[in-house]
Every structure is written in structure tokens, then in C-alpha cells.
Amino acid sequence: MALPQEIIRRKRDGKVLTRTEIAEFVSGLVTGAWSEGQIAAFAMATLLKGMDREETVALTLEMRDSGTVLDWTFLPGPATDKHSTGGVGDNVSLMLAPIVAACGAYVPMISGRGLGHTGGTLDKMDSIPGYVSQPVQGDFEKTVRAAGCAIIGQTSDLAPADRRFYAVRDVTGTVESVPLITASILSKKLAAGLQSLVLDVKTGNGAFMAERQDAVALAKSLVEVAGGAGLASTALITDMNEPLATAAGNAVEVQNAVDFLTGRARDARLEEVTLALAAEMLVAASLAPDADSGREQTLKALDSGMAAERFGRMVAELGGPADFVERAEHYLPQAPMEIAVKAGRSGFVGKIDTRGLGLAVVELGGGRRRPEDAVDHAVGLTRILPIGTEVREGDALAFVHARSEADAECAAKAVRNAYGIVEEPPAVNTPILDKITA
């Protein structure tokens, strides 16, 4: 068995680590044999020197096997999922899981909480009264079988090595390593027992990968390493230079998702990305021969009401109201204060500081400054105007939902500063920028 410092030294010097050395590192994460200082040194060495494909595959598989690996082979259909690198107004998962389930797949979706300026799927689901977002394994399996999908949080026994490794990376400036991001994402998805995976890698001013070339590099790494680990995958590069939905927050995004599923209202960019990802999931799961056929299936699932029914069944199976889809407004928490953010001049919405909008939601209490902070599910932004919209002075750019007048005014100022009004109609961003395949 090699000493931790020798493994660190080899990576520091740019050497390719063996599977045995990587296994020793992961074992040290779980058992505590490696100190936090040694973990941090290994992470920094990897950030600076990188890992090749084989090293990253080995790290992914070792972290997958550090805890429980779920098995969905008892299901009568394929188990599939998607992962998003995070954005603002990105409630795609809430529609995507039931849409794909209505098309014959099973979606055991293990999601995370908000990170930085981005929203978390789990925080959104926690807006629903009674909904148990971290159920025991038996209830998770029962829900997936009954509804075809279940959106829950990661349990402590799934990829525990990644949990400790990420906690150290988060406080040592080593999060941005593409191999480590890749292994972190895929180890959890592989531990979830999936047979296929579609990745939504976002780029733009509201994404963690702001530059497109960085997003493409991450997407290629994810697809290649997933393939090396035996997991079929595809990645879409999507635009996050403006919010995806016209709502940003928790309960407000759940309401937006219910409106989407029932056909009451569907934001155009949100619909394009959601249906594209759903189609790719059906292709990856061998339920559609190509993306065009997959899209036709997803539209039928929506228009027939089957997707909304699956969502409602999932909510009820996990402890939420049986009539949630029909009466979402009645059940979801609502902030006591709502104010319009008015445009200061006439023109067109030319640009949006998407990260700024996300941070405004965090400041309202809709996100966390520290991991232990509670989230206010009621606050957020709604009716967010997209890029290209013509406005007159005094028109509402968005509406702020807050606990107090002071909070509302502070958020309104942030929203106003996030909007750039121009004289001529701008080019409208295409939401789907690229597709990365194995």
C-alpha cells in the first residue's frame, strides 16, 4: 500500500496514477486514513496536472463503489435520468421526469439542493406540503414502480467518498477541475443504478461554466467517461444567458412546472430545452429510434395529460396532496408581499445578468448563504421578461415575491440592475447550442 504523500507526489509531478493508487485514495476518503490536508493536496495536484480518461473512469468507479449501488433491473422498463450543471429558473427536472415516465421509461431522479446562485430541484420539491424528498429505500422503489418516476435527494450511503471529497474541494478552491467534476457527477449517477443518462451542460452568465468552450470540454469529459464506465450518455450544451423559466425561486417554479404540465402556460425556451432533453432520454433508453420520434412521444405525453398524471401520482406516493396538480395554488406557500420591478426606459430587453437574478432570489431567502441555512420556499421572482421583449418605461420587467417591503425593494433594485434595455431589437439566444455524443 502506497503512502498518501507518495500518491500526491506522483500526481503533483504529472504522473498517471494506477487504478490501485486511485482505489487507495478513495478508500482513504471513506475510512479517514487520508487527512483533510492530504485530500486537499491531492485535489490541488489534480486541478493543476489533470487526469486522463482512464484515471477519471477509475476514480468515478471507485467512488461509485464506496457505498450502495442501486439496482433497478426488477423494473419492466429501462431506468434513465438526466443531470443539469445548474442554472436560474431551471425547473426542467420537474417536467422531464414525468414526461419520460409517461413514455415508458423509469426515472429514479436523485437531485441536489441549491448551490451558490443556482436553484436546487430538491428545494423546489420541498415546497410541496407533505412531500418526503428523502424517503427510505422501500418507498423510493415503490414510487418509481407506481408513478414511473421519483424526485428525491441523495442518501448518505450513495457515493459517500464523493461527499467527503467535494466538501474539501469546496473550501480549497479546487471545484473547477474537469476530471473531478466529471467523477463527482457520474459516481452518484452510476450509484443510482442507471442504464442511461442525458446531461444538460449549461453555459453563459448564469452558469458555472460561463465560457462555451469550457462547457463543451466538460460535456465531452462526461460523455467519454460515462462510456468508459459502461453508461450510455449524451450531452446537450444549453444557453444560460437568461433564466430558462419565467419564474425563479422554489414554490414559484413548482407552480410554473404544474402550469407547463397541464398546458396552462409553457415558456418557449423552457419547452424547447425540456422536450429536447426528454427526446434524448428516450433515444438513450432505446424507447425512440431518433430525437424527432422521441419529441413526438413527449408531446403526446403532455397533450394527453399523462405526464401531469404521473407528476401528481409521484407527489401523492411521496406524501404530498393527492389533488396537488389540480390545486397547486392552494397548497404552495405564497409570500405576503408582491411588487413589480418597472423598466426605467423604453426599448428592448437586450441582456440579462442571470447570475444577478439568482443572487437576488438567494438574498430574498430562497437560497442559502451557508449550508445550514433554512430556505424560504415562498419567495422568488415571477413573470421574468426574456431577452428580445419590447418594453415601455414603467412596464414590469419581473415581479418580486418577498417577506417584507424592505426585502422586496432590495431585490427589485437587484433585478432592475440585472436588465439591460437597448434601443434596437437584439439577437435572441438559441437555447440549445450543441450536442455531444460518444
The position carrying cell 403526446 is 300
Spatial separation of the C-alpha atoms in residues 63 and 186, rounded to whole Å: 9
Kindly report, residue by residue over 246-271, the tens digit of the pLDDT. Answer: 999 999 999 999 999 999 999 999 99
Spatial separation of the C-alpha atoms in residues 267 and 386, rounded to whole Å: 10
pLDDT above 60 for 184 = yes
Annotated catalytic sites, by residue? 81-84, 121, 169, 184, 188-189
Span 376-386, average pLDDT: 96
pTM for the complete prediction? 0.92
Kindly report, residue by residue over 263-322, the tens digit of the pLDDT. Answer: 999 999 999 999 999 999 999 999 999 999 999 999 999 999 999 999 999 999 999 999
Nearest to 340 by CA among 400, 251, 389: 400
Percent of the chain at pLDDT > 70 equals 97
Percent of the chain at pLDDT > 90 equals 87
Nearest to 258 by CA among 312, 338, 320, 333: 312
Span 348-373, average pLDDT: 87
Res 319: pLDDT: 97
Q: What is the mean pLDDT of the chain?
A: 94
Nearest to 207 by CA among 226, 227, 188, 181: 181
Which residues lie below 8 Å from residue 339, measured CB to CB, with a gap of 6+? Answer: 399, 400, 402, 408, 409, 412
Res 428: pLDDT: 86
Query: What is residue 362's DSSP assignment?
Result: I
Residue 87 and residue 208 in contact, taking contact as beta carbons nearer than 8 Å? no
| Cα distances (angstroms) measured from residue 107 to each of 87, 151, 284, 428 | 21, 8, 13, 33
Span 172-183, average pLDDT: 90
- Residue 28: strand, helix, or coil: helix
All cell numbers assigned to 413: 433594485
Res 115: pLDDT: 60
Spatial separation of the C-alpha atoms in residues 367 and 358, rounded to whole Å: 9
Residue 258 and residue 251 in contact, taking contact as beta carbons nearer than 8 Å? no
Nearest to 362 by CA among 258, 248, 278: 248
Provide CATH code, domain 80-328: 3.40.1030.10
- Same topology, domains 4-50 and 80-328? Answer is no
Spatial separation of the C-alpha atoms in residues 175 and 168, rounded to whole Å: 9
Partners of 196 in the β-ladder: 80, 232
Provide CATH code, domain 4-50: 1.20.970.10
Spatial separation of the C-alpha atoms in residues 349 and 347, rounded to whole Å: 7
Kindly report, residue by residue over 117-172, the tens digit of the pLDDT. Answer: 766 888 899 999 999 999 998 999 999 999 999 999 877 788 999 989 988 987 88
Residue 336 and residue 374 in contact, taking contact as beta carbons nearer than 8 Å? no
> Domain coordinates of the chain in residue numbers?
4-50, 80-328, 335-422
Kindly report, residue by residue over 54-66, the tens digit of the pLDDT. Answer: 999 999 999 999 9
User: Predicted confidence band at 209 (pLDDT cuts at 50, 70, 90)?
Assistant: confident
The position carrying cell 473512469 is 57
CATH 3.90.1170.30 fits 335-422, yes or no: yes
Spatial separation of the C-alpha atoms in residues 198 and 104, rounded to whole Å: 16
